[in-house]
Homo-oligomer: A and B are copies of this chain.
């Protein structure tokens, strides 16, 4: 099985969720994160002193899926999250050895 981590803009959450649901993803886990990258941050001012804030709010969506479903999920997420502007984010795919559904104790692809 694969874990797909989608890091993208916060306001894209709904669109990505809908896209993934649409192709049959049944579950995902979302996290508010801060990203550092080419997009750059912004200036903040505090009583006349300027600070550069390098981190931009992003969301990270983790989805674990069967091996052969992974590329479809990646494609759907890419499509839904893309704006074409710097800062759209990344998708990371990594191996998962085992999945357990806590409620039932099921394991493997059954458990996803």
A residues sitting closer than 8 Å to B (CB atoms) are: 2-3, 6-8, 17, 26-31, 33-38, 54-55, 58, 60, 64, 74, 77-78, 81-103, 105, 111-112
Which single residue of chain B is at the shortest CB-CB distance from A89? Answer: B102
| Residue with the greatest number of chain B CB neighbours at <10 A, chosen from A36, A83, A99 | A36
Q: Given B36, B38, B82, B102, which contacts A82 in the complex, CB threshold below 8 Å?
A: B102
> How many angstroms from the CA of A29 to the CA of B35 in the assembled complex?
4
> How many angstroms from the CA of A53 to the CA of B19 in the assembled complex?
16
User: Chain B nearest CB: distance from A14 CB in Å?
Assistant: 9
A55 contacts which chain B residues (CB < 8 A)?
30
Assuming A26-B38, A27-B37, A95-B95, is B64 touching A90 (CB within 8 A)? yes
Assuming A78-B102, A102-B8, A102-B78, is B3 touching A94 (CB within 8 A)? yes
